[in-house]
Amino acid sequence: MAMLKTIGFYTLVVFIVLVSAFPFYYTIVTSFATGSAIFEVNYIPKSFGLDNYKAVLFDSKAQFPRAFLNSIFISTVTVIGALLLGVTASYALARVQFRGRGLLLMTILAVSMFPQIAVLAGLFEMIRGIGIYNTPWALILSYTIFTLPFTVWVLTTFMRQLPVEIEEAAIIDGATPWQIITQVFMPLLWPALVTTGLLAFIAAWNEFLFALTFISSTEQRTVPVAIAMLSGAQQHEIPWGAIMAASVIVTLPLVILVLIFQRKIVSGLTAGGVKG
């Protein structure tokens, strides 16, 4: 009886791992398939060629490498800004008692739950008005709507868990709040900053709606929209091989990052999603 339960358990485990990992495995397999091999169903790679990767990287129409750089620039700047504003704000929210603190935290939480479409019209007007439409700044600005509340919320949770004694000792020594943040808490908060930054980076990297709406020319596109718009040489021809190659290029670094920072990411996600 126990044997049956164990077999059943491990069958379930194998099933879970297969369902999770097979699609991406198949994407990698397809990306290396060349010519007509793409149009056959192969569970195990039959051919191996770099044609699709060459097509994606050197195709002047799609400008994929440029899109990659755009995404890196936009995501990095967004995250740095969110972390800067977030660290100081979370200190205030976590360690200082003041009137209206609960209300402010609730507002920040609510903002992170806005449907992006609800602000699309207003942001569109603002971005056109300032004149940053079709530039990276349009996205750096609009991504703040989800990176900032997320950063503040998660960092506040981490800040609350820092020991009070260290802070009290620093206060007795005459440290100003700014000194407390930079010299006492930052070293302790370092892992949390990495986690939060990574999660915010991934969110900014994957964002689609704003990137689709506020960018109109190919050179300014970000990676998600560039992939979505990959089209073939002839009309109605979908270049599946190239699309899979582009997908692998974009996803492999993310998957590796996520696997390396597994534990940190899990604790960051649960801190943000479950009650603090």
Nearer to another protein, 115 or 187 (CB): 115
Q: Does 20 bind another protein (CB under 8 A)?
A: yes
- Whether residue 70 contacts residue 83, with contact meaning beta carbons closer than 8 Å, is answered with no
- Tell me, residue by residue from 251 to 270, as one string, x for binding to another protein by CB under 8 A and - for no binding: x--xx-xxx--x--xx--xx
Q: Which of residues 97-126 bind another protein (CB under 8 A)?
A: 97-98, 101-102, 104-111, 113-126
Distance CA 58, CA 108 (A): 43
Nearer to another protein, 48 or 178 (CB): 178
Q: Which of residues 125-164 bind another protein (CB under 8 A)?
A: 125-126, 128-129, 141-142, 144-145, 148-149, 152, 156, 160-161, 164
Nearer to another protein, 50 or 260 (CB): 260
CA dist 49 to 33, 38, 246, Å?
6, 11, 14
3-class DSSP state of 17: helix
Q: Which of residues 77-96 bind another protein (CB under 8 A)?
A: 85-86, 88-89, 91-94, 96
Indicate the DSSP class of residue 184: I
Tokens of residue 214, six digits:
């506020």
Tokens of residue 14, six digits:
């194998």
Return the closest-CA partner of residue 175 out of 38, 276, 139, 166.
166
CB of 21 to another protein, least distance (A): 5
Distance CA 69, CA 20 (A): 29
Helices and strands in the chain, H and E counts: 13, 0
Q: Which of residues 200-219 bind another protein (CB under 8 A)?
A: 202, 205-206, 208-209, 213
Tokens of residue 69, six digits:
């750089």
Q: Which residue among 171, 188, 193, 194 contacts another protein (CB under 8 A)? A: 171
Distance CA 127, CA 263 (A): 38
CB of 105 to another protein, least distance (A): 5
Site size toward another protein, by CB under 8 A: 101
Q: Which of residues 39-58 bind another protein (CB under 8 A)?
A: 39-41, 43
